[in-house]
Structure 1
Amino acid sequence: MNSRKNVTLWLGIGIVSALLLLMAVSLFYVPYGANEMNIAHRLQAPGRAHWFGTDNFGRDILSRIMEGTQTAFAVGFFSVCIGAAGGFAVGSAAGYLGKWTDELLMRAVDALMAFPGILLALIFVTIFKASLPQTVIAIGVIFIPGFARVIRGGFLQYKEADFVKAARGLGAGHGTVIFRHIVPHVLSSVIVTASLCFSTAILAEAALSYLGLGVQPPDPSWGRMLNESQSYMNKAPWFALAPGLFITATVLGFNLLGDGIRDLRDRRA
């Protein structure tokens, strides 16, 4: 089946592309300063002056949503990078070396997976100062077991393949075998995992910020905006609606993208 008929994939690409465009625009232009307060216009309903309305400090919600995309994508990108790097180190060593190395590393992964991911993140940001870097590291660490399992499975599948045995027979070293012959075949699974983890990272950051343990005010964060809006649900429902919709759209977009890539890979397998 042609990839153009993969509705899931193209829906995901469309949503993610629109959000990336919004983030790119926010780097150069926002209608108002994200932290620019105007008490006279607090809790103003959506209109021509403020398309998404204003919050309890009179700040433009659209401007804060736009700058919030920078936070969301930064957390998603760097936490996935941390998870993928740690997962590659653990998974490749376990899958390629096998034996006691595999047993030791995977038991450590199992122990880490025994704790709920959000609980580990909460413990981490509670022990250390709650800030954006700590949030990124905490979320990245909880991704390591998932990446490690995916990468280990790929190495176990391909390390005894005929083309790998042929490469070894021709004198290829471990580095060449790993990075030239095994990693390219594992990469598609890693990309799918990264896409799904990206959406989880954004959701986790929103949850931590909602609890006051993520991005600290006055920096805009969709989760923090939800926290600030809960006291005004009846009076100003638009205050919570905008960040809620953007969190939903972002998570949906990356989940659709990951599912679409996985379906495309399975058809080509």
Structure 2
Amino acid sequence: MAFNFQQSVNEIESIYSNVDPPNNPGNQINDLVQYLVQPETILDEDIFDRAKQLIHAYDKLTSNHRSQLLYGITGAMKQYVEKELKSDLDSEDTFNIEVHRDVLQLYAYLIIFVFYCISEEKDPKKKVNGAASASDEDIRLKKGFQNSIRVLIECFKTLSVVFSVDLSHLFETTISRDDFVNSLCLKPVNSLFESEERMKDESFRRSAFKVLCQAVNQQGQMQQVQSNISSNLIYFPHLSPFKFKDFQRE
């Protein structure tokens, strides 16, 4: 299957606003999740196309369907890393390195698209003292916001599993590894930090900071993370200042 990871990631913004809602998404998601019980089936072009079509319509799905789809994808990715990839790396088996890289990139693309969708969501409105009760729209936004926080935390848990592996074994150059880590983690997290309401959520912050720590300590991303933090503190005053040493292991 021909798949250009970086090109596909670069096209996400143009795809995001040009997708129609799927027909019978519940049935489609159930079928996909069943296929992904064997995580390597994502290499099948038809299966990956099904996954893409559903992910591309992520913001048009109900909260339940979003969660079901996301957990199916992240569960498959974690299972693949823990049972297939780590086993081969521990045994120094390099025969399937290219396959492992392809699988990670396919799942990574799906997760990156979810990150983008959530970064585009509106924050729930702040309730002003003495104001009337929240409107139905406000309630809907708040529920959607809370669901998205849960989705993000699940994504970060998956990234944590991926970053527990030395990705330099999978990529031919340091640059290609760094591009993968930046696309999957650093760039999306940077965008997600722009939301003041999201940054007020302690569970989100802790999960995001943890995966950034891993990017620094296990994937050699100290310089890029430091640069991102410095930029964020300049342009987004709602971010509480924190020192870069917080990302170093004690």
Scaled by the length of structure 2, what TM-score is found? 0.30
Using CA pairs under 8 Å that are at least 6 residues apart, name the structure with larger relative contact order, 1 or 2. Answer: 1
Scaled by the length of structure 1, what TM-score is found? 0.28
